Structure 1
Amino acid sequence: MPVIRVLPPALINQIAAGEVIERPSSVVKELVENSLDAGATRIEVDIEQGGARLIRVRDDGGGIVPDELPLAVASHATSKIASFDDLEHVASMGFRGEALASIASVSRFALSSRARGQDTAFRIEVDGGKVQEARPAQHPQGSSVEVRDLFYNVPARRKFLRAERTEFAHIDDLLKSLALARGGVEFRLSHNGRPTRVWKAARDERAALARVAEVMGEDFPAQSLRIEHAAAGLQLSGWVGLPTASRSQADSQYFYVNGRLVRDRVVAHAVRQAYADVLFHGRHPAFVLYLELDPAGVDVNVHPAKHEVRFREQRLVHDFLFRSLHEALAQTRAGQAPASSPAQPGEADPMPRPQPVASSSYATAPAQYTQSWPNPASQSRLALGVREEPLADYAALLGVSAAPVAVPSFAPVPLPESEDGEAPPLGFALAQLKSIYVLAENAHGLVLVDMHAAHERITYEKLKHARAASNLRSQLMLVPLNLAVSAKEAAAAEEHAEALAEWGLELSRSGPSTVVVRRIPALLEGADVGQLARDVLSELAQHGSSRRLQELENELLATMACHGSVRAGRRLSIPEMNALLREMEATERSGQCNHGRPTWTQLGMAELDKLFLRGR
């Protein structure tokens, strides 16, 4: 057998580099995070040949005193933690102390630094792990790190580098994520001597939103909701994109935990569930979210590159994220614009700001287009009839025994009084186009509504409220179903048996890795009981909670709502169209249908004038 020996330091560092340094962007990440930990307010990143030839990071941070320069490039030497208790409360971006040593072992490395209060700067060089003696140099307060010829002494790793453009794109994406994390820091990025990015320090909310728009796209602020929520020692802030502004890929999702960008399955699951009722199939939401909590409540020491974290109260974090986002999305209503930021000086808001539910405050039309609007109170209060369904069928499906559930339809909606010159958010109906779209006029121009999609959402929300107000009826299975599951899932069935019973699903543990299903919700008759139980137990075992039953019920209610809504091709009267508009303004999530498609859109006067070349 080979003898056991202690590995030489150079080999140890190269092994560590294999874990931490995947590509040039990994080097940039470690160096910029060090600059942030040093208190830098300005960071410059210079790249040559995609980072293969040169990576230089300069900052104006606190710097390093001369005696500590050799320690800065030594393995597992750090100023960020000193005890096990520090490791339990990590508040810095870096803390392992192996990054510089690992980088220096696979490159030609140089570190120049001048500490705050020092008259002289010093420079230390490392070539393939061989540390040279520090010597005086010229440098302002702060530090500069130069990494040349990355992987020059590890040819196998160098062969895996991609094209120059690809590697630089990874660095660009990394700097974007760091710029979002630290709005008060100025970032500059150049490639092959040419400036490519400049993010000025954001000193207020408006500047912070401008930086978000630069990273996420200029349309994102107008298509997002501002989030501010705190509970149970957790604080969530940031911006979430509206369902109608979703993307085909999950490439615009930034989630930060105590300032650190992370990828976490608990977070991903909570976000996915929050959007489940409003997002089109196969689409992904865009968001920039910041979660702040006690550092002791999150373990950041679970991944060498610190991409992942582990929450100590996983279920608490999951439920907090889900409820915060779910409630924010529920407050979106047709005719309301997201209150992401105030308008720029001298610039009018393009849409009325969100108003509370059933608000009678209407936006005033711009002076040049002001007209005498009809008084809403004079509009007919006719109900919009839909295809009648037997009440008993709805009652049976919803599990209601005696009191019938109202058929989804437009009940008469009392319209608030308004003075001349005012209009509700979606305005008043003008006509119907091809028996599909409702055309309305509001203070800002033309409103177009997909009447089936809009009525489908309204009907769906009514059904959900009726379901929530009723007692769920369960159905006894003729033959109990025995299922083989994992031991963890069987334990979850035992732990959450009472909660599942409230949803009409009766599960009992019958062995170390088996469960028995005895009852299911009557609403889900005909469903694959085995798959349903496995899905629920899998979520309970992994996240401590499950919404699978509710999601399945909502899918059925959505189907009922689709069949119970006014169809395309149906001619509506003006009073019926106005009733539809008023219901949309008062219904949660009415900006999109049950499938995530938009229910309405606005064409402002500026857009219409542009179409007809008015003012030229």
Structure 2
Amino acid sequence: MPKVQKLPESLIRLIAAGEVVERPASVLKELVENSLDAGARKIAIDLWGAGRSRIRVTDDGEGMTREDAEAALDRHATSKLKTFDDLYNLSTFGFRGEALPSIAAVSRLELTTRPQAQPTAWRLTLEGGRLLSSEAAGAPLGTTIDVQDLFFNTPARSKFLKRDSTERTRLLKTIQEITLARPDVRFEVCMDGKNLYTFSTAKNLGERVADVWGLSATENLVPIDVAQGPCTIRGFVNAIPAHHPTKALQLLYVNQRPVQQRLLTHAVYEAYKEWLPVGRHPIFLLFITLDPKLVDVNVHPTKREVRFSDERAIYDLLFRKIRELFSLTPTEAPSHHSAESTGTFPPKPHGFPMDALARYAPPMPVRREASQAALAVQLPFTGTNLADRVADSSTPAHGLFTTDGLRLLGVFRKLYIAAEQGEDLLLIDQHAAAERVLFERLLAQSSTQGAPRQALLTPLLWEISVARAEVVKAYLPNLQELGFSLEPFGPSTFALKEWPAVLPQSKQAERFLEELLDAFEEERPTDKTVIQHQIAARAACRSAIMAGDPIAPAEIDRLLADLAACERPMTCPHGRPTHLRFSSTDLDRQFKRI
């Protein structure tokens, strides 16, 4: 008997499914793209158990006859290709005829479809790729595909899925990608039997972007619309100050297909290069349209990668257009350009708190209004002996940082407190020191009695994208424990009503929430201590006195006494030093005296 044998069809199907069906989100993507290829204008998405238990997609597209429906469940059966040349002239999402049979191979699938010309629908039921029944049924025009028990027959694949919260987030990101590309289609999304989102047909791309990403994320986007030869680029990019701490708001489409294309992403980064602080990222939603003959989408089974016949030309066009948009000055964003193809964002609701520029500003909190004169060393407190004023403090000082013998000299640049202590010169970062004090206070109060709260004068309404709302919901109990009363206020809006009493009420509360969400979205911490430390560290950062804030002598006394009482006074919660110490020997050596 020969060693090399032909694989059975059932095993071939499972192997093929492994390339196409990675997780519930990939199933959802294929089903919705099939609906769009069928001309649907209304698509209903129902999800149960983070997509593991069930995914159902219902559309009002053209539907299929019984013969076409049965053929669609066979591998490499498609209505979108007839010759090899058709592969390079595609106007549809699907074309290989692999997705539907691959999904059927690893699930229990039911397909119900009815075309315009037929009075009744037809229902096909499959299990593990095997057809169980094919029968007439009553159903409206269009197609419903119901996928249940994903990976029921491949338990090894099921074990590699992430937690439900992670899979839900992947599903919602997929929905975000698809809904942004098709503002002309109505989408209804339900999760575990509850209506989650409804995106009505939008008048233009700008309206759909506001629906999906939220107004607060979109108010500082600038339309881009440029054409050259067979290539058109349209969409939105961020105004110069509105960069982002992560890559969460970056989407690129080629002929309506969401793709990952490193070269074009690099073009955006290069265009913003001189304006992007370290650790910040541009925001972009870009749609590239060009002749299908000039792009190869048949690179990977997931169709996420594409190749262009002339990548450099598209790179140069995108780079030049972004530079042109911001050619006024390196730091001045242009006014909103009109672009009929993209539209504009809906007007901001009256009184809605959206401080996007603050939220997207560089991570180091620095206020720039200080004049040149303020850069000089200020010496209003020379001769003040701090130790005399804090001698009666009941809080023990620690050896790492003490106020004993500390003598204030002044404040440099409204940031660094200068003092002498014995033979040493100290420079204390007022923001880092205040961060450490507030961080330890918040953790101490929450661990002993639960953090006392103070009501905000006006609740802060925080609107985020549909995909990110699920991440926030997962960490609401942790925020509550530390004194933050954050409550759902709609499908993707939250109301911040209370703030920890130990913290000053911050004008940067929304920025704190955005940065915290970015961190949780990237790292997905599960350890309670890690989660609490991240919340406390970011809250302290946004509540502490900032670089550039004037600080009175009495406030300096209080700040340094509180810092001396901290368990770890040497660094802020993010690891930066709170102060630097220079001995007289160090200074003498720098001045070549020794």
**Displacement of 1:115:** 0.8
Q: 1:149 to 1:436 in 2, by over 3 A?
A: farther
**Separation in 2, partners of 1:8, 1:34:** 28
Q: 1:21-75: CA deviations, max 9, x gaps?
A: 1100010000000000000001111011001110000000000111222111100
Q: 1:201-235: CA deviations, max 9, x gaps?
A: 11x23xx3122023233123321111110012110
Partner of 1:131 in structure 2? 131
Q: 1:330-386: CA deviations, max 9, x gaps?
A: 2467375334666868999x9xxxxxxxxxxxxxxxxxxxxxxxxxxxxxxxxxxxx
Indicate whether 1:175 and 2:172 are aligned. Answer: no
Partner of 2:73 in structure 1? 73
Q: 1:256 to 1:190 in 2, by over 3 A?
A: same
Partner of 1:483 in structure 2? none
**Separation in 1, partners of 2:106, 2:373:** 65
Equivalent in 224, 229, 233 of residue 230 of structure 2 = 233
SS at structure 2 position matched to 1:143 = strand
Partner of 2:335 in structure 1? 337
Checking the alignment, whether the CA contact within 8 Å between 2:328 and 2:334 is kept in structure 1 is: no
* Unpaired runs of at least 5, structure 2: 353-368, 375-547, 549-594
Q: 1:291-336: CA deviations, max 9, x gaps?
A: 0000000000001000110111122122122112222232467375
SS at structure 2 position matched to 1:34 = helix
TM (normalized to structure 2)? 0.57
SS at structure 2 position matched to 1:135 = strand
**Separation in 2, partners of 1:7, 1:244:** 58
Q: 1:342 to 1:100 in 2, by over 3 A?
A: closer
**Separation in 2, partners of 1:241, 1:253:** 10
**Separation in 2, partners of 1:306, 1:250:** 21
Q: What count of residue pairs does the alignment treat as equivalent? A: 357
**Separation in 1, partners of 2:179, 2:129:** 31
Checking the alignment, whether the CA contact within 8 Å between 1:220 and 1:241 is kept in structure 2 is: no
SS at structure 1 position matched to 2:299 = coil
Indicate whether 1:272 and 2:269 are aligned. Answer: yes
Please show how residues 427-466 of structure 1 align to structure 2 within 5 Å. Answer: 434-435=371-372
Equivalent residue letter for 1:22 = E
**Separation in 2, partners of 1:59, 1:147:** 15
**Separation in 1, partners of 2:245, 2:271:** 18
Deviates more, 1:251-260 or 1:323-332: 323-332
**Separation in 2, partners of 1:346, 1:179:** 21
**Separation in 1, partners of 2:174, 2:347:** 32
Indicate whether 1:308 and 2:299 are aligned. Answer: no
Equivalent residue letter for 2:287 = Y
Partner of 2:11 in structure 1? 11
Checking the alignment, whether the CA contact within 8 Å between 2:215 and 2:348 is kept in structure 1 is: no
**Displacement of 1:90:** 1.4
Deviates more, 1:103-112 or 1:272-281: 272-281
SS at structure 1 position matched to 2:124 = strand
Equivalent in 235, 240, 244 of residue 247 of structure 1 = 244
Give the superposed CA RMSD. 2.7
Equivalent residue letter for 2:227 = A
Q: 1:246 to 1:149 in 2, by over 3 A?
A: same
SS at structure 2 position matched to 1:251 = coil
**Displacement of 1:164:** 1.6
**Separation in 1, partners of 2:224, 2:266:** 18
Q: 1:3 to 1:183 in 2, by over 3 A?
A: same
Q: 1:110-169: CA deviations, max 9, x gaps?
A: 100001221110000111121134200111000000111000000101111222222111
Equivalent residue letter for 1:140 = P
Partner of 1:53 in structure 2? 53
Checking the alignment, whether the CA contact within 8 Å between 1:69 and 1:134 is kept in structure 2 is: no
Checking the alignment, whether the CA contact within 8 Å between 1:242 and 1:285 is kept in structure 2 is: no
**Separation in 2, partners of 1:315, 1:154:** 43
**Separation in 2, partners of 1:112, 1:37:** 17
SS at structure 2 position matched to 1:134 = strand
Indicate whether 1:257 and 2:258 are aligned. Answer: no
SS at structure 1 position matched to 2:153 = coil
Q: 1:29 to 1:345 in 2, by over 3 A?
A: closer
Equivalent residue letter for 1:36 = L
**Separation in 1, partners of 2:373, 2:334:** 22
Partner of 1:84 in structure 2? 84
**Separation in 1, partners of 2:346, 2:17:** 47
Equivalent residue letter for 1:164 = D
Q: 1:480-533: CA deviations, max 9, x gaps?
A: xxxxxxxxxxxxxxxxxxxxxxxxxxxxxxxxxxxxxxxxxxxxxxxxxxxxxx
TM (normalized to structure 1)? 0.55
**Displacement of 1:6:** 2.1
Please show how residues 78-227 of structure 1 align to structure 2 within 5 Å. Answer: 78-202=78-202, 204-205=203-204, 208-227=205-224
**Displacement of 1:7:** 1.7
Partner of 1:40 in structure 2? 40
Partner of 1:375 in structure 2? none
Checking the alignment, whether the CA contact within 8 Å between 1:46 and 1:56 is kept in structure 2 is: yes
Equivalent residue letter for 1:134 = S
Equivalent residue letter for 1:254 = L
- % of aligned pairs identical? 41
Q: 1:416-468: CA deviations, max 9, x gaps?
A: xxxxxxxxxxxxxxxx855479xxxxxxxxxxxxxxxxxxxxxxxxxxxxxxx
Partner of 1:283 in structure 2? 280
**Separation in 1, partners of 2:315, 2:345:** 34
